[in-house]
Structure formats: structure tokens, C-alpha cells
Amino acid sequence: MRIARRAQRIEPFYVMEVAKAAAAMAREVAHSAQPMIFLNIGEPDFTAPPLVQQAAARAIHDGNTQYTQATGLQPLRECISRWYASRFHADVAPGRIIITAGASAALQLACLALIEAGDEILMPDPSYPCNRHFVSAADGNAVLVPTTTEERFQLSAAKVQAVWTDKTRGVLLASPSNPTGTSIAPEELRRIHEFVTSRGGITLIDEIYLGLSYEERFGHTALAMADGLGDNIISINSFSKYFNMTGWRLGWLVVPESLAPVIERMAQNLFICPSTVAQHAALACFEPESLAEYERRRAEFKARRDYFIPELNRLGLTVPVMPDGAFYAYADCTAAAAKLGVSGSWDFAFELMKRAHLAVTPGRDFGTDAPERYIRFSTANSMEQLREAVARLETVLG
């Protein structure tokens, strides 16, 4: 059977390959003194709050399970619009908001609508692997641009200008980023967007961790950019991270008004609509009680960051840039790997799995610029589990 070239270009998702190995070992050690601790997957350990769960059950009980419009429930689009206004002081009209089957569908729709075969999209290295694969699936080419710790592992306007060619269609950024948890400074983002716009390009920005920002300097949506510049930003967001609804597969896309009918037409054909039950449940995310609970959880994620990253630094797993959002620690494991007699983050990750029953993610997924130096820890786990992980690391690393 002949496989399409676009499918052959999609690399394995190594995060999940490591997860499979960790799950297999977890079964072996489940009843030992050290059961497996999972710090590898970027999934909140919190589930949807009570009001959200109740809203889902009510939708099923009342028979509110039929198709919605491809753009999603109008009340949900209006809730998101009000959330942007109250949380970020951004004026985002409901008509610009398209509800999608997770952020993945949002990215797919944006890429299919805007990328022609052979178009190049600039992305920082390191970055989330699936983002570049959405570009590939649209027959575009993701161009990974190496970044530095001084740049907070983010693209700069100077680098975007330096690598821009006639084939470049635009940029795909993430703020806060997976795997680093770092955001782009607002002034730098503005410079990037102004340059991209001057070249007739597109600025796509993955903001799925925006709700989990911890520092005032960085916790701003690109959609709030002044002088109307935010009106032609394409923002991808999700109910998975801040709203703790990972398996519900619900996200949204914010586009310029002129692009909304195009995205709607594509969504009608490709997806019909997002999950109706998940949409009715998501309406309850914006109730005051739910929002208060999300803010309590955000404070807990920050407390985990503030505990765990100094401990990693103390143990020689240096996190070169303090994350300002999300729930990741991107640590240089060079010295720690040498202590264990292995070389590179891939072997180090499996050594930790074997010796400490600790699952982490090696840097192989996230780019090509020295991925062997870095491992990603997810702090989306309880403080108790994080403290136990530190104790095991201390035992193993000495």
C-alpha cells in the first residue's frame, strides 16, 4: 500500500513512545516500594470542576447532544469573548471565535486555510513537535530557528528578519511555550508581528497555556496588541490546560473577521462541529465559582514551580530560564547524565526510569538544536509526588 508523502513526513511523537515504556515499567513496579512517578506528560492532574461535570451530565440528561453550528454554541463564544475582556482587557468579538475539537483542530484549520504547498513557517527551536507537524500536514515546511537562553527560547524580531525568504509565509509562536514554559516579551512580540505584517505574512500564536501565566509582565494575550495589530493575529487556545478538560477535546481559534467564514466552511466539512456535550459543559467554566477554583489551581501550579525548579538546580539539573507559565521545567541534564555514566537526554531519561522509577521526557521531540542536552519535567503532579521525585533524584544523583 502506497503511503502519502505527507504522512511519511510526520515523525513519531517520542513523548508518547517514552510514555508507553514508562507505562509498561509502571505495571512491573506498581506494588513495589517505589511505584512509577509520571513527570512526562503535559496533562493537569486536576479534573474539570464540579459545576462543569454537572453541566455535562445535565446536557446528556436533557438531550442536548445534537449537532451545534460548526463554529460552536453562540453562548460559549460569547463567554469566551467576555473572558478575554475581563481577564486580559482584550476586545475580541464573538464572531472571531471558532469553537474547535481541541487546539489540535484549531491548528489544523488555521494551517489548511493559510498554508500553500511549499510555504515555510518559522518556529522557535525548541518547540512543541505537533505544531510543526500540522504545518507539514498542510504541505508546508516548518523551519526551526535555534534560540538561546538569553532569548528565553523564543524567536526575536531580529532572527525572524534574518531568516525570512521569499518562501516564508509567516511564524508560528507559542507563549507560554511547551517545553520551556517561557513567554515572549510583549514588546518583542509586537516587533515580530509588525515585521511579519509588513511582509504580508501571518502570525499564528499558540496561547493554550496563557491562563497559566504567573508573572504580570508576560500574562497578556497577543490579541490585546494596541493600534489594531491584535485584530489580525491568529490565536489558538484550549480548554485542556487552564480549564483542566484534556479528554473533553475542546478548544477555540480566534481569527480576523475576514477569515471567519473560510474557517467555518472548512470546519463544516472536516469536523461538522465540536463535541456538543463538551461545549455545554464548558459554559460552566465561566461561572464565578469555577473561575475561582481555576485561580486556586493556578496558584497551586505556581507553588509547584517555585518548589521544584530550585530543587532541580540544586541537583545539577539546571533550568537555564525560569518558566513564567505552563507547568514545565526544561532542564540541562548534561552533568547529571555524566554522573550516571550515560550520554544524552534519551539515555538519561531511560536511566531515570530504571533507577528511580521516574518518567520524564527527553528533548528529542522538541527540535534539532542540541536536544540531547535537555529533558522536560512536567510539574502537573501533586506536591507530594514532586517531593518524592526530588528525593529519588537526590538518591540517584548523589
Q: Residues with Cβ < 8 Å from 360, sequence gap 6 or more? A: 39, 40, 349, 352, 353, 375, 376, 377
Predicted confidence at residue 15, as pLDDT, reads 77
pLDDT at res. 235: 98
Task: Check residue 394 and give its pLDDT.
Answer: 97
Span 115-149, pLDDT tens digits: 999 999 999 999 999 999 999 999 999 999 999 99
Q: What is the dihedral of CA 215, 221, 222, 226, to 10 degrees?
A: -90
Give the mean pLDDT of 293-300. 98
CA 112 to chain centre: 20
Place of cell 460569547: 78
Give the span between the Cα atoms of 193 and 190, in whole angstroms: 5
Sign, CA torsion 46/48/54/56: negative
Neighbours of 384 (CB within 10 A): 8
Query: Is the peptide bond preceding residue 49 cis, with omega within 30 degrees of 0?
Result: no
Here the cell at position 387 is: 517531593
User: What pLDDT sits at residue 301?
Assistant: 98
Separation between Cα atoms, residue 302 and residue 308, nearest integer Å: 10
Mean predicted confidence (pLDDT) in 93-106: 98
DSSP structure class, residue 315: T
Write down the mean pLDDT value for the chain: 96
The 10s digit of each residue's pLDDT in 26-79 is 899 988 889 999 999 899 999 999 999 999 999 999 999 999 999 999 999 999
Residues 6 or more apart whose CB falls under 8 angstroms from that of 393 comprise 312, 315, 317, 352, 356, 358
According to DSSP, residue 224 is labeled G
Non-local CB neighbours of 6 within 8 Å, separated by 6+ positions: 136, 137, 139
The predicted model gives 342-355 an average pLDDT of 95
Between 27-36, 278-287, 339-348, the lowest mean confidence (pLDDT) is in 27-36
How confident is the model at residue 241, as a pLDDT? 98
Residue type, 276: T
Question: Dihedrals φ, ψ of 153, to 5°?
Answer: 60, 30
DSSP string, 102-125: HHHHHHHHHHHHH--TT-EEEEEE
**pTM, 2 dp:** 0.95
Longest Cα–Cα distance of the chain, Å, equals: 60
pLDDT given for residue 14 in this prediction = 76
pLDDT at 398: 82
Backbone angles phi, psi at 322, to 5 degrees: -65, 125
Is the peptide bond between 176 and the residue preceding it cis, with omega within 30 degrees of 0?
A: yes
Question: What pLDDT was estimated at residue 33?
Answer: 87
Mean of the pLDDT values across residues 229-249?
97
Helical pair 102-114 and 129-137, crossing angle rounded to 10 deg? 40
- Smallest Cα–Cα separation from 178: which of 376, 381, 380, 386? 376
Count of residues making up the chain: 398
Q: How big is the CA angle at 162 (ends 236 and 235), to the nearest 5 degrees? A: 10
Q: Please report how many Cα atoms fall inside a 13 Å half-sphere around the Cα of residue 316, on the Cβ side.
A: 14
Residue reference for cell 453541566: 55
Share of the chain above pLDDT 90, in %: 91
- Residue 16 confidence class, pLDDT cut points 50, 70, 90: confident
- Residue whose grid cell is 463538551: 278
Give residue 244's pLDDT. Answer: 98
On whether the CB atoms of residues 298 and 151 are closer than 8 A, the answer is: no
- The DSSP line for 137-163 is HTT-EEEEEE--TTTTTS--HHHHHHH
